[in-house]
Amino acid sequence: MASVIIRARGLTRRFGDVVAVDGVNLDVLEGEFLTLLGPSGSGKTTVLRMIAGFERPDAGSVEIGGVDVTGVPPYGRDVNTVFQDYALFPHMSVLKNIEYGLKVKKVPRAERTERARAALASVRLEGYGDRAPSQLSGGQRQRVALARALVNRPRVLLLDEPLGALDLKLREQMQVELKEIQREVGITFVFVTHDQDEALTMSDRIVVFNEGRIAQLGTPLEVYEHPATAFVAGFVGTSNLLAGEAAAAVLGRPGTWSVRPEKIRVVGRDASVEPGCHAVRGTVREVVYVGMSTRFVVDLEVGGTLMAVEQNSDAANSGGHLRGEPVLLTWRTEHEYEVQN
C-alpha cells in the first residue's frame, strides 16, 4: 500500500457567506494520479489552492510528506502548480521560464540550463527554448507550463484544469501525454477538472466534489459503475435514475436506482425477457444518432424517463427503433445500483 503524501483534515474555506469548501478530509497517495472532479463552484479548485498554499484555510490542516504546512506560504511548499491560464512569464523566453524555479533556488547556471533543456525535451519541445511564450500555440504553452513545474522535481504536481483552454482533439491528445509523462516521472499528480471523460480517462482515483464536500472517492470504475449518490450518477455519466413509484413498480423495491444507459437494451414489445433481467415498457420519445452509437430517450409507462445507448456495430439504421415506437427496455439486475438522494 502506497504511503500518504498529502493529508488534508477538516479543510474549510469561506468566501463571505459562501462556504466553498466544507470540512474536506482527503488522503493523496504517493505516485497516484488523483483527479478532483466536480462542477464549477463545487470547491475542487479551492482545495487544490489550499494544498498549493495560495489560499489559507479557515479551518483544518494540510500535511505534505508528514509535515504540517497549513501556515506555510507557497514558496515554502514542495509542490508545483500548472495553472489554467498557464501563467507563463511573458517577458522571459521559454527556457528562462522553465529555469525560473531553479534560479530562485540558486541552482548553478550549468545545471539549471541542463535540467531545463531536459524538461523541455520531456514535453517534446526541443528547440523551442529561445521563443517567447507569445509565439507558442495553446498546446505548446501548456507543455511549457508543465515543464516549468516538473523541472523542480516537486513531490506533488498540482494541475488546475490545465486542458480547459484547448480544443477537443488537442485535449484528448494531451490527456494521453499527461498520463504518459506522469508514469515516466513517477510524481504524484493532483488534477482538477470538471470534465468527467477526462477524469475517467486519466485517473487512478477520482474524488467527486459537490457543494464543497466530497460526494464520492474511488477508482474510475467504482465511481462510474457504482455511483454513491444521485449527484454522482448524474455528474459522472448520464443521469439515468429510476425513483419513487417507478422504481417500486419495475424493481419491486422503493428508493433511487441508477442504471447506466449502455447496460440497457432496447427490444420490441414482444421480445422475451431473459432470466436475471428487469424489463420495463415504454415509448421512444427521441432517437439521437451520434456516430459511434445511437441514444434512445424512452418515456416509461410507469412514469419517468430512461436513456439507452446502443453501439452502431451493424449499420447506420439506429437499431430499427423509431420515434413513437412502443418498446421494451431490459437490463441485467446486477447493473442497477441504489444511490443516495
Partner 1 sequence: MTTVATTPRGGFGYRHPRLRLAGLLTAPMLWLVAVYLGSLGALLLTAFWTVDDFTGQVVRDLTLKNFQQVFTNPAYYGVILRTVGIAVLVTLLCLVLALPLATFMARVAAPRWRPLLVALVLTPLWASYLVKVYAWRAMLAPEEGVISWFLSPLGLDGPGFGFLGIVITLTYLWLPYMVLPIYAGLTRLPNSMLDASADLGARNGRTFRSVVLPILFPSIVAGSIFTFSLSLGDYITAQIVGGKVIMLGNVVQINYVVNLPFAAAVATIPVIIVLLYLAAVRRSGALENI
Contacts with partner 1, residue ranges (CB under 8 A): 52-54, 73-75, 79-81, 83-85, 87-91, 100-101, 104-105, 148-149, 152
CB of 248 to partner 1, least distance (A): 51
State the Cα–Cα distance between residues 262 and 249, nearest whole angstrom: 22
Alpha-carbon separation of residue 333 from 165, 225, 260, 274 (angstroms): 41, 13, 12, 11
State the Cα–Cα distance between residues 204 and 189, nearest whole angstrom: 10
Cβ nearer to partner 1, comparing 104 with 176:
104
Cβ nearer to partner 1, comparing 85 with 299:
85
CB of 192 to partner 1, least distance (A): 14
**Chain mean position to CA 178:** 13
CB of 147 to partner 1, least distance (A): 12
**Which CB contacts under 8 angstroms, 24+ apart, belong to 90-97?**
90/132, 90/133, 90/134, 92/133, 93/129, 93/130, 93/131, 93/132, 94/120, 94/125, 94/128, 94/129, 94/130, 94/131, 94/132, 94/133, 94/136, 94/144, 95/120, 95/129, 95/130, 97/133, 97/144, 97/148
**Which CB contacts under 8 angstroms, 24+ apart, belong to 91-96?**
92/133, 93/129, 93/130, 93/131, 93/132, 94/120, 94/125, 94/128, 94/129, 94/130, 94/131, 94/132, 94/133, 94/136, 94/144, 95/120, 95/129, 95/130
State the Cα–Cα distance between residues 168 and 91, nearest whole angstrom: 29
CB of 325 to partner 1, least distance (A): 45
Cβ nearer to partner 1, comparing 98 with 308:
98
CB of 145 to partner 1, least distance (A): 8
**Per the structure block, which three cell numbers stand in for 227?**
455511483
Cβ nearer to partner 1, comparing 52 with 230:
52
Cβ nearer to partner 1, comparing 134 with 313:
134
CB of 149 to partner 1, least distance (A): 8
CB of 208 to partner 1, least distance (A): 25
CB of 202 to partner 1, least distance (A): 22
State the Cα–Cα distance between residues 326 and 248, nearest whole angstrom: 22
Cβ nearer to partner 1, comparing 89 with 289:
89
Residues 6+ apart with CB under 8 A from 101: 80, 148, 149, 151, 152
Cβ nearer to partner 1, comparing 43 with 133:
133
CB of 290 to partner 1, least distance (A): 36
Cβ nearer to partner 1, comparing 88 with 328:
88
Cβ nearer to partner 1, comparing 36 with 157:
157
